[in-house]
Amino acid sequence: MSMQKVRLLSLLLGLLPAGIGAAPPLVSVSAPVTLGAPRGLHYSPDVVALHEGYVVVWQRGQDHAGGPGAGLELQVLDASANPRRPVTTLCDAAGSQEHPRLASNGRQGLVVWQDFRNGHDWDVYAARLDAGGEPHPGCGLVLATGSANAALPVAATAGRRGFLVVWQQTDDHGFYRLHAALVPPAGKVRFLGPVLNQAPDAADWHGYTPGWGTGRQPLRAGQQDALVLTGGRAEVIETDPEGGAWFLTWHDEANWAPGNRGGITRRVARLELRGDRLVATAVSAAPSNGLARNEGGLARNGDRVLLTGRSIINRGNSHVSGAILPADRLAFLPNPNTEPRKFGAGWDPSRVFSLFRAALGMEGPVAATAFGAGFLVAAVGDSRAGSIHARRIIGNFIDREGRRLLVDGDWPVLHQGEALPSHPVLAGRGKTALLVFEQRRGADRLIQARLIRGAVP
């Protein structure tokens, strides 16, 4: 019997009552649970494992640009995804609170968001979460304020230092630069300023010298500190248990001159803390245009990091892919999978692999988390009429070297919606993970969750 048939049989046996059949189910998925109100507009969920359960946060209400503004809500769940207490209003200040993101070290958490309470531009706020998921302070402490726009913060653990927060903030020319701060478990925030680029080839990068759109300029003595990472839409993850190194992926706008000349590139950097500054010691473009042109994500399991993303390649095909890096250095490992060599323009499978298969249209963003000895990934199926995966969130397992462990036909359906789901996020605990996502229902947009248990094949 082929391996594909064995896997399919194990899935079918998993649907039978206990005691019938010897093979355990490859994946079991709980019924969907609606978090928060069953009516209204809810967006941008995020989830982390904290203490013995999970914390989920989301935005209630439309963005400031499209409506009266939004607030933030928080739900604490136990390890079986049962609510421990009613939904908490995390923050509902004047203006709008949007795009919340979470980080957790298992004992303490941090939630960060962009905030319009000052009425004229975006600031960045954060709140610590204790082991029970209670926020302190309730409506956040300010990390970035002033006349510049500061937006889209992300957070990662930082060992004994607490948490690292990275956000995009406009400079004097109106372009975004990446800034950072350390939020300790208690006490004052440590501001790190703009993220410096001290990679060996930093001086060769067009646009990293002062003066936007003026072309490449040679560095003068003492100008190395003027080289900063520009752009936004960042993701960051800790790679050192001591909290001294991270991987960052972001949209680099160094070549984007006024008038939209040049281009925006998805890059990856290794970050280290040196004194009072956060610096990039190595920077690389994504190893293929087929990886993370539009969105990028990071997940770590031990000494391996999975970079995921979505691109539009091959005449409009929405494609999701990944690459594996060792946690201690910026080096993409070879792709161990068999891939089509001529899938589309910009597709280079030498170090990038499809998370499902190359010709399968999938929507972004991609959710990923550590699961067992490898990774669990999830993405929304193509919304085009006739697609077998329309209105579905499907999953796959990726091992530490980047091998896809399930093939076409074996991918578990993690969610099937009446209408299109979106924005999936994952938080793993061993061989269990919580999947959280937005689900349209008529005029409403709900936050729903499913608990996933499985045995990695």
pLDDT tens-digit map of 5-48:
434 334 333 333 333 233 344 789 999 999 999 999 999 999 99
Check whether 137 has a pLDDT greater than 60: yes
Check whether 342 has a pLDDT greater than 80: no
- Return the SS3 of 439: strand
Contact between 435 and 447 under an 8 Å Cβ cutoff? The reply is no
d(CA 56, CA 81): 10
pLDDT of residue 217: 47
Token pair in block for residue 71: 């607030």
Q: From residue 47, how far is each of 74, 102, 204, 294, 376 by CA, in Å?
A: 10, 7, 39, 22, 15
Provide the Cα torsion 288, 289, 292, 295; round to 10°.
170
More confident position, 106 or 317: 106
pLDDT of residue 246: 98
Contact between 311 and 290 under an 8 Å Cβ cutoff? The reply is yes
Mean pLDDT to the nearest integer, 206-229: 50
Q: What is the mean pLDDT of the chain?
A: 85
Range scoring the smallest mean pLDDT among 24-28, 137-141, 144-148, 234-238: 24-28
More confident position, 252 or 253: 252
Contact between 175 and 169 under an 8 Å Cβ cutoff? The reply is no
Other CB atoms within 10 Å distance of the CB of residue 216: 11
Mean pLDDT to the nearest integer, 431-445: 96
Read off the pLDDT band of 288 (50, 70, 90). Answer: confident
pLDDT of residue 20: 28
d(CA 370, CA 428): 6
pLDDT of residue 17: 31
pLDDT of residue 171: 85
Read off the pLDDT band of 278 (50, 70, 90). Answer: very high
d(CA 126, CA 110): 7
Check whether 420 has a pLDDT greater than 60: yes
pLDDT of residue 4: 44
pTM (global) more than 0.95? no
- The percentage of the chain sitting over the pLDDT mark of 70, rounded to a whole number, equals 81
pLDDT of residue 226: 60
Contact between 29 and 74 under an 8 Å Cβ cutoff? The reply is no
pLDDT of residue 429: 94
Check whether 213 has a pLDDT greater than 80: no
Range scoring the smallest mean pLDDT among 18-32, 86-100, 103-117, 193-207: 18-32
What is the tens place of the pLDDT at every residue in 355-410?
Answer: 998 777 788 789 999 999 999 999 998 766 567 778 899 999 999 999 999 988 78
pLDDT of residue 252: 86
Contact between 268 and 284 under an 8 Å Cβ cutoff? The reply is yes
- The percentage of the chain sitting over the pLDDT mark of 90, rounded to a whole number, equals 63
Mean pLDDT to the nearest integer, 229-242: 92
Mean pLDDT to the nearest integer, 288-313: 84
pLDDT of residue 131: 96
**Own/partner long-range contacts of 387-391 (Cβ < 8 Å, ≥24 apart):** 387/361, 389/360, 389/362, 390/420, 391/416, 391/417, 391/418, 391/419, 391/420, 391/421
